[in-house]
């Protein structure tokens, strides 16, 4: 080998060593977007479904049997308590009443006769004008006649009640529905079918259902809220919001064993009768404000096949760490964090597909609103 080629080979060898060392150097940290969590007030709202129910409902049923002579109302109108709705043929009941009245008069006349006789015998027995036995028999007859008067008076009152029941009246004030009978129909006191139904629509119940597990969680969270009363907002079937808010009135004291759910009842004013019984509605229950809540962007929370939630967090030394978290209710594009994250944690929201747990990264703070917008656009 010529001597002038030796320096050239040495130079090429040194250059190859430098390139090998450069290739073995670690790549620079990857830029990732993070959102630093902080505490804030969180308005706790639960969306439930349910149906409306009238606060007062009464089925109109006959108390006596007979033929319907007249219907005395217009279907769908507002009726008053005690207003006459149907007239049942009163003929037989009027005859019974007249018979009871006559029997009472006869009994009263007999009392006058027998009791005066008893008084006379009471005087005569002292003068030995009649025997003691006759005087006692007269007193007994007077007492029996008085008891007969009471019995006949009760029979007359019963006949009067039955006669009054031939005029079927409304038990409550409200709107009356469709009549199930027409004039000429035969009704009986023991029938199962109501003649009509009256409902008071001035206020309405909304019966909501939620799982017993959610109810237990609500009661635990209520210890951290500052709300004493729970207000409820309705969304109607056409998507419009009912203009008047209601309040949660009671919670059922037992759990439905078949569904594991509990019924909650809210009451709403209904002055314009917009709400009708049987409507399917969605209700937002304002369950109070949680102070010092932790909200994490939904973009930074992932779930495995079992539904367990995890988040990637950038530690103080800029390494990626995976956390198991428990989420609560959603608020817009954020999750309420119940466990696993705290204020000051930097949650990775951009670039998670470029890194793995334990990698060193270069965190770049991302505005939470911007992250939410990007997440929404990605979902769309």
Helices assigned H by DSSP within 223-319: none
Distances (CA, A) of 205 to 121, 199, 200, 228, 268: 71, 12, 11, 20, 6
pLDDT at residue 217, rounded to an integer = 66
pLDDT at residue 94, rounded to an integer = 96
Q: Say which range, 61-70, 154-163, 351-360, has the weakest mean pLDDT.
A: 351-360
Q: How much is the pTM? A: 0.65
pLDDT at residue 277, rounded to an integer = 93
Mean of per-residue pLDDT scores for the chain: 84
| Structural domains of the chain, ranges and CATH numbers in brackets | 30-42+292-379 (2.40.420.20), 92-165 (1.10.287.470)
Identify the residue whose tokens are 């409507």. 279
Q: Is residue 86 over pLDDT 90?
A: yes
Cα angle 298-304-307, degrees, rounded to a multiple of 5:
75
pLDDT at residue 35, rounded to an integer = 92
pLDDT tens, position by position, 98-141: 999 999 999 999 888 888 888 888 888 787 778 888 888 888 98
pLDDT at residue 289, rounded to an integer = 77
Which of 155, 200, 149 is closest to 173 using CA atoms? 200
pLDDT at residue 118, rounded to an integer = 83
For 170, the 3-state DSSP assignment is: coil
What are the tokens at 142? Answer: 């007077």
Q: What is the rounded distance in angstroms from the CA atom of residue 9 to the CA atom of residue 1?
A: 11
pLDDT at residue 26, rounded to an integer = 64
Distances (CA, A) of 336 to 41, 210, 344, 379: 11, 19, 15, 20
Q: Cβ contacts of residue 165 below 8 Å, gap of 6+? A: 62, 63, 64, 88, 93
Q: Say which range, 62-76, 232-246, 249-263, has the weakest mean pLDDT.
A: 249-263
pLDDT at residue 45, rounded to an integer = 79
pLDDT tens, position by position, 321-359: 999 998 877 777 888 888 899 999 999 999 888 888 888
pLDDT at residue 160, rounded to an integer = 96
Q: 114-127: string of b/e by CB count within 10 Å (b at 16+)?
A: bbebbeebeeebee
Q: What is the rounded distance in angstroms from the CA atom of residue 166 to the CA atom of residue 91?
A: 10
């Amino acid at each position: 080998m010529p001597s002038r080629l030796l320096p050239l080979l040495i130079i090429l060898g040194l250059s190859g060593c430098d390139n090998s060392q450069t290739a073995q150097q670690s790549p620079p940290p990857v830029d990732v977007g993070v959102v630093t969590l902080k505490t804030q007030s969180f308005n706790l709202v639960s969306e439930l479904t349910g149906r409306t129910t009238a606060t007062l409902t009464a089925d109109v049923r006959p108390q006596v049997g007979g033929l319907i002579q007249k219907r005395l109302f217009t279907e769908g109108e507002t009726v008053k308590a005690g207003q006459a709705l149907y007239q049942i043929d009163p003929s037989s009941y009027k005859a019974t009443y007249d018979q009871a009245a006559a029997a009472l008069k006869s009994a009263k006349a007999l009392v006058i006769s027998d009791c005066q006789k008893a008084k006379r015998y009471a005087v005569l027995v002292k003068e030995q004008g009649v025997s003691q036995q006759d005087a006692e028999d007269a007193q007994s007859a007077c007492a029996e006649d008085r008891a007969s008067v009471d019995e006949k008076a009760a029979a007359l009152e019963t006949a009067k009640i039955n006669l009054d029941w031939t005029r079927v009246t409304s038990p409550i004030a409200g709107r009356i529905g469709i009549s199930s009978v027409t004039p000429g129909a035969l009704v009986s006191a023991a029938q199962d079918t109501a003649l009509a139904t009256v409902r008071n629509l001035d206020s309405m119940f909304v019966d909501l259902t939620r799982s017993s597990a959610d109810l237990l969680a609500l009661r635990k969270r209520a210890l951290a809220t500052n709300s004493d009363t729970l207000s409820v907002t309705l969304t109607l079937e056409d998507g419009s919001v009912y203009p008047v808010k209601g309040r949660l009135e009671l919670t059922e004291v037992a759990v439905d064993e078949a569904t594991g759910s509990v019924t909650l009842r809210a009451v709403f004013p209904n002055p314009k009768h917009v709400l009708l019984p049987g409507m399917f509605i969605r209700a937002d229950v304002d369950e109070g404000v949680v102070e010092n809540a932790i909200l994490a962007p939904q973009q930074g929370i992932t779930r495995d096949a079992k539904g367990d939630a995890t988040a990637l967090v950038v530690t103080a030394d800029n390494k990626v760490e995976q956390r198991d978290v428990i989420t609560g209710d959603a608020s817009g594009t954020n999750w309420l964090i119940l466990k696993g994250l705290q204020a000051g944690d930097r949650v990775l929201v951009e670039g998670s597909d470029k890194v793995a747990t334990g990698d060193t990264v270069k965190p770049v703070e991302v505005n939470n609103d911007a992250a939410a917008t990007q997440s929404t656009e990605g979902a769309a």
